Structure 1
Amino acid sequence: MAVESPCNKDRPNTSLTAKFPKFGKKLFKKAVKTRKNNIQPVEISLTFKQNLKEQHFAAAGKQLINREERLFSVKQNGVGFNRKLVEEEEDDEENLKKDFEDLFEQVWSTVDNSFQVQTEAEIEALRQAVIVIQKEEEQDRRWEGYLEKERPQWRPRCCRDLHDSRLQNMVKQRMEEAKLDSDINLKSSVQKEITRKAKQLRKDLLHVAKYVKQCYPGENVCLQYAKLYHQEFSAKLKEITDYGLNDDDCLHVLLWVNTHYPRIMNCKELDGVIKYEQLEALLPENLLEPLEDQFLTQKENELRAWCKNILKREKSGTELRDGCYFSPLAIDVIQCVHGALKSLKEVLGSRAKPQKITQQMKEFLRDYQNFLKKVIVDNEGNTEAVLKANLCCIRQLLEYIISTENQELLHVHIKNDCVTLLASIREHCQRYFTKCIHNDLKGKYAKLGTREWLKNSDHVCEELLVGVDTHIQKITNLDKACQKELVSQLHKEVLTEYVRKMMKKKIKLGDGNKQDQAAKALHDNSQKIHTYFTEAGSNLNDLKDILPRLAELLTLKDPQCIELQLVTLSRSYPDFSEAHVCAWLYLKADLSNPELKKIKKTFSEFREPSENEGQNQDPLYSCSNFFSKVFVK
């Protein structure tokens, strides 16, 4: 039983002029005449060869498929033993085969010229060629299941595979033959090789997106081309990295892998047609990681050398600008560090490893700390000038590290360590100026927490502040912001010394009247101290609450209320310890030993644990570490 043909359509109409020459000429003349009279002309079907000549590939392909189906319908139904029909059938099959060859000669030539397509006619020709390929794929599927002798010898034609193979060869050839613009000045052969291929890749993909994409209805040909170019570019990079690279070539490869190449694939012209995340990595991990480590090591060494040179220059001295001592150290360091970190982010993309490079910042700050300590120990003639200039540098470095703009550049642990280091360096420098003040005020501090203070606290406090003011007036040639910081630090230190002297256990407040009197003195002194330092430039507004809150402990009578107040105090000041509790409650001589024991036990159980400074908080302006500076026995 003969197998039924996939399709049994009538043979397409042949040209009227070919069948009936005289009649065709008359019809043509009539058509011209009717066109002149604005009458719709009669549509005349073109022959296969005419369609082929006019590059109507889709129409020509349809004609051949119709002939194929009619021919093989006859073949399957059988021709019997009629030799004439057999010969006609064989002649038709050979003619059909030849016509298919002629069609695909032009189809493949058109596909091969995809990168020359620009005009409307060229775009239409390529679109027609693609339709032929798509229809041929459909025809291959319609012949599936038929025996080899029952189907055309050219089925399956596998046009899609041939098309994809031609594209791959075409891409490979274009990448191999890519040229580098003469105005691009690159010395390294590696950089030239990468750049010329990358430029060709970009140029061709943009051409595909602009001209070729519209010729492939229902297909994402841009992604297909992108994968082919990606494959070629990746193969070249792998080949290059196999031989090892110097630092400049290493940088060039990383820039293309992590910055330039993703930028090409994600540009607006290719947006929506190429999904970069669907492409495999240009370089596998085993090749990429050594390059990253090489680049990181190079940047690390560069940054270390830069910072050492900056510190070396600092030893040569400072200068006076606009009445203030100045040093370019901070500006230079920030530029070096920020430049290195930005370079890391750009070159390594999201794979940046800031822990390693920012470690150099910590190392520099340790060297910086040692340098300033030596300046203080040597105490040469320019010590004060150097420290004043570097207080400004410390402030600039701290502002840079704490800045929210650098959240992504600095690793959080390194950042916190740097903040702590800088706070320590600043405090050490400030102590150079405040130490002499505290030494001069020893006699005045000694009166705090004594019977004399209890009797005449206003005078004792006033005397203390007059002594402080005398020294503050002598501080000159210091940046205004740094002077405010120095005053703020002195504010904290004076109040710290005040509380420490109160905890020296010099007096006992045995009755409620004395406790109320002491509490009032603490409130009054707190107001005077805070007012003076605020007017002098201190920004530590939270310090105003410390003495009043301690004073409240003296006025409370109920041990449970004292316990609650102490726990509340510890939440505001996590470093408020049991030793501080004992020293302060010593003033309340009316508490029994069992009551003191219970209060201390409750405090130990419910006090908040000490926490680290917030990463965006300058330690100078935090009061949570106040009591850690109040040393008690």
Structure 2
Amino acid sequence: MRTDTRGIMNFLPRKKWFGFGPRDQPQPPAVNNNTSSLTDGSPLPQQEEPQPVILTYEQMLQEKLLSEAGQLLIEKEERLFRELKESDAFTHHEEQVNQLKADRKALQDLVLQTLGQSLCLEEDSLAGLTSAVKAVMQEEDQDLLWKQRDQTPPSWRPSGWRKLHDSTLLSLVKERMENPSTPSACQIKLTTIQADITNMGRQLKEDLLSVVGGVKRCYPQEMDICNFYSKLYHQTLSASLMNIADFGLVDKDRTFLLRWVNEYYPEILAKPQLHSEIDSGPLGKLLPERLLKLLEDEYLSNQQGELTTIIRRVLGEEREKWNKGEEPETEDGCFFSPVAYDIIQLINGKVTSSTKVLGDPHKAQRITCHISKDLMDSYKSFQSDVIKQNKANSRSFIKANLDCIKQFSEVLNKERHLFTEDPQYRKLGTSDWLHQSRFKELLDVINKEGQDLQGSTESCHKELMGQLEQEVTVEYVRRLLKGKVKLKDKMQQLKAYLTVKDNAENLHHLFVQMGSEEDWLKEILFNIAEVLKLQDLPAIQMQVVLLGTDYPDLSEKHVLALLKLKTDLTKADRKSATDILHTLREIGSNTQPRSFFSLVQVK
């Protein structure tokens, strides 16, 4: 059998063959027809044109000119199956068909081998990958051509090289994730599971950086290779983590796994080099929702148990000191107890660390779900015993713990981000809020909270209830100004006015019963309600002036957020109201200022 020596002409440098743009054909150097010398008049020797190098098919494979070799085979296929009659191609050219089939197999093997080395190629070897990818695209185009023809295709059509490309990359990713690079020495302190997760994560990061840094240049833009690789790595890592989670985890490994899912992995994808090339949104979480919730619930239960145990230990140590007759610590000549500070720091630390592990501050707040009530009950019991038994050091402990009471009241109200937010708050300022039943549910929750906080001295309880009323009012206004409800006409605005006014009266009435004496908070809601009701722009401007006079910390942002609820006001109308506020600031006010709106954050 005669070897097919059909080849292509290849002028040096060969790099002209690589890439996806139109191929620039090299031109032979121009021949100088002027045979006279510019110096001595003697004729110059005739320069011969460089002879093109004709490569055989086998030489193309050796040189990794895979797309050129593929194109050669496609041309041969066209001659055999298109230019000749179908019967002639199979009857009289069987030997050539078999040779073509064998040549295609050799090319396919080399293309797949090159693809399988995609992530470990040096910079100067990427040309071979570029040629392999181009060969795949050529085959896909040829498959499409045969699909459109009214003729029986060769036995190897469709070739399905694109599917082979995808499956080869999937195998490559799985192999690299199952056998990641050598771990660093710092992993000595990690458990086996933690080391496995870390190694896979490191391999994922390094390989994706390699894809966006080099491999990407070997692919046409329409193949979106960066997102394709990210999907493969995401699916592979996800499957591995699910297997690890199903194995059963101790607390330390569970925490580590959750942190990888919710913190470390998102941080990798957020790296500038990757973020600009990879759309992480469609990837989703590394673990399915059901499994993730199970792990998070186990983690939260464990953290809540740890926090409760530590708080009890702190209170127990304080009680033990009192039982032993020891005096509390002193600071600047005053009795001092570190109990409140220690417990508050513990709670803050747990919520902060859990936010990282869970990736969601609202989930982290669930740790403190029952802490506030249990804490106050335990602390109340201790204080009650100190007072009733009236030991020699009881008076000192009472003095020392007065400041603790203040600190606890502050953290239970002003630092409510550490504690679970009742879902009824989320209804404020929405369309559901206009239904009175929703607000009644919130009042019931507040009433229960107030009952749980009873038991302190009258003055402390009044102060605590006043702070709680202010916190609720601030939250009410903040939710309202978020603009989730739109008041399109006079009827809706009147309904909103009546709702806010009724809410203010019921809220204040409840807090008065609970011991609050902060009457001024009700007036804020009344003034806001008036703005919602008024229809004439001058009247609205006057109401804004009244609010700004009573509360100098009312900002233009607050006014704009409030007026945006009234969607029938134009931008110019809203600006005129803020201009009035600005003028008021310049004139100044003789009234005693009171702060409120500085506590209400608006965007």
Are residue 210 (structure 1) and residue 205 (structure 2) matched? no
Q: Which residue of 2 aligns with 1:473?
A: none
Q: Distance in 2 between matches of 1:41 and 1:328?
A: 94
Offset, 1:140: 0.6
Q: Which residue of 1 aligns with 2:430?
A: none
CA contact (8 A) 2:212 2:274 kept: yes
Q: For 1:263, give the aligned amino acid.
A: E
CA contact (8 A) 2:339 2:404 kept: yes
Task: Please state whether the residue corresponding to 1:320 is helix, strand or coil.
Answer: strand
Q: CA RMSD in A?
A: 4.3
Are residue 339 (structure 1) and residue 349 (structure 2) matched? yes
Q: Distance in 1 between matches of 2:317 and 2:48?
A: 92
Task: Please state whether the residue corresponding to 1:269 is helix, strand or coil.
Answer: helix
Q: Percent identity?
A: 31
The structure 2 residue matched to 1:227, chosen from 227, 231, 241, is 231
Offset, 1:366: 1.6
Offset, 1:337: 0.6
Q: Distance in 2 between matches of 1:162 and 1:111?
A: 10
Q: For 1:213, give the aligned amino acid.
A: K
Q: For 1:129, give the aligned amino acid.
A: A
Task: Please state whether the residue corresponding to 2:335 is helix, strand or coil.
Answer: strand
Q: Which residue of 1 aligns with 2:332?
A: 322
Unaligned runs of 5+ in 2: 12-25, 33-43, 322-326, 426-444, 467-500, 523-603
CA contact (8 A) 2:146 2:157 kept: yes
Q: For 1:154, give the aligned amino acid.
A: W
Q: Distance in 1 between matches of 2:333 and 2:257?
A: 50
CA contact (8 A) 2:328 2:335 kept: yes
Are residue 244 (structure 1) and residue 243 (structure 2) matched? no
Offset, 1:613: 5.8
Are residue 399 (structure 1) and residue 410 (structure 2) matched? yes
The structure 2 residue matched to 1:59, chosen from 45, 68, 78, is 68
Q: For 1:63, give the aligned amino acid.
A: L
Alpha-carbon displacement from aligned partner over 1:240-283 (angstroms, at most 9, x marks no partner): 22232221222122222222222223332221433333125432
Q: Distance in 2 between matches of 1:16 and 1:385?
A: 97
Are residue 185 (structure 1) and residue 188 (structure 2) matched? yes
Offset, 1:66: 2.2
Q: For 2:382, give the aligned amino acid.
A: F
CA contact (8 A) 1:117 1:123 kept: yes
Q: Distance in 1 between matches of 2:143 and 2:503?
A: 82
Q: Distance in 2 between matches of 1:422 and 1:385?
A: 27
Alpha-carbon displacement from aligned partner over 1:407-449 (angstroms, at most 9, x marks no partner): 3754248997898589756645859xx9xxxxxxxxxxxxxxx
The 1:220–1:386 alpha-carbon spacing in structure 2 relative to 1, beyond 3 Å, is same
The 1:323–1:417 alpha-carbon spacing in structure 2 relative to 1, beyond 3 Å, is farther
Alpha-carbon displacement from aligned partner over 1:385-418 (angstroms, at most 9, x marks no partner): 32332222232333334346x5375424899789
Are residue 388 (structure 1) and residue 399 (structure 2) matched? yes
Q: Which residue of 2 aligns with 1:510?
A: none
Q: For 2:81, give the aligned amino acid.
A: F
The 1:417–1:75 alpha-carbon spacing in structure 2 relative to 1, beyond 3 Å, is farther
Are residue 153 (structure 1) and residue 161 (structure 2) matched? no
Offset, 1:308: 0.8
Q: TM-score, normalised by structure 1?
A: 0.58
The 1:115–1:572 alpha-carbon spacing in structure 2 relative to 1, beyond 3 Å, is closer
Alpha-carbon displacement from aligned partner over 1:117-136 (angstroms, at most 9, x marks no partner): 231x3222212211111111
Are residue 254 (structure 1) and residue 258 (structure 2) matched? yes
Q: For 1:211, give the aligned amino acid.
A: G
Q: Which residue of 2 aligns with 1:518?
A: none
Alpha-carbon displacement from aligned partner over 1:4-59 (angstroms, at most 9, x marks no partner): xxxxxxx9985599xxxxxxxxxx9x95987x99x997794753545444333333
Offset, 1:156: 1.3
Q: Distance in 1 between matches of 2:503 and 2:206?
A: 64
Q: Distance in 2 between matches of 1:309 and 1:326?
A: 19
Q: Distance in 1 between matches of 2:317 and 2:414?
A: 27
Task: Please state whether the residue corresponding to 1:346 is helix, strand or coil.
Answer: helix
Task: Please state whether the residue corresponding to 2:186 is helix, strand or coil.
Answer: coil
Q: Distance in 1 between matches of 2:252 and 2:160?
A: 47
Q: Distance in 2 between matches of 1:262 and 1:297?
A: 25
Alpha-carbon displacement from aligned partner over 1:291-315 (angstroms, at most 9, x marks no partner): 2222111111111111111112223
Q: Which residue of 2 aligns with 1:117?
A: 121
Q: TM-score, normalised by structure 2?
A: 0.61
CA contact (8 A) 1:372 1:429 kept: no
The 1:417–1:320 alpha-carbon spacing in structure 2 relative to 1, beyond 3 Å, is farther
CA contact (8 A) 1:318 1:389 kept: yes
The structure 2 residue matched to 1:194, chosen from 192, 197, 209, is 197
The 1:151–1:341 alpha-carbon spacing in structure 2 relative to 1, beyond 3 Å, is same
Task: Please state whether the residue corresponding to 1:371 is helix, strand or coil.
Answer: helix
Q: For 1:252, give the aligned amino acid.
A: F
CA contact (8 A) 2:365 2:418 kept: no
CA contact (8 A) 1:258 1:348 kept: yes
Unaligned runs of 5+ in 1: 1-10, 18-27, 435-484, 490-570, 575-606, 627-633
Alpha-carbon displacement from aligned partner over 1:71-93 (angstroms, at most 9, x marks no partner): 3223237659xxxx965x44443
The 1:621–1:134 alpha-carbon spacing in structure 2 relative to 1, beyond 3 Å, is farther
CA contact (8 A) 1:573 1:625 kept: no
Task: Please state whether the residue corresponding to 2:214 is helix, strand or coil.
Answer: helix
Q: Which residue of 2 aligns with 1:622?
A: 518
What pairs up with 1:263-412 in 2 under 5 angstroms? 263-315=267-319, 316=321, 317-350=327-360, 352=363, 354-403=365-414, 407=417, 410-412=420-422
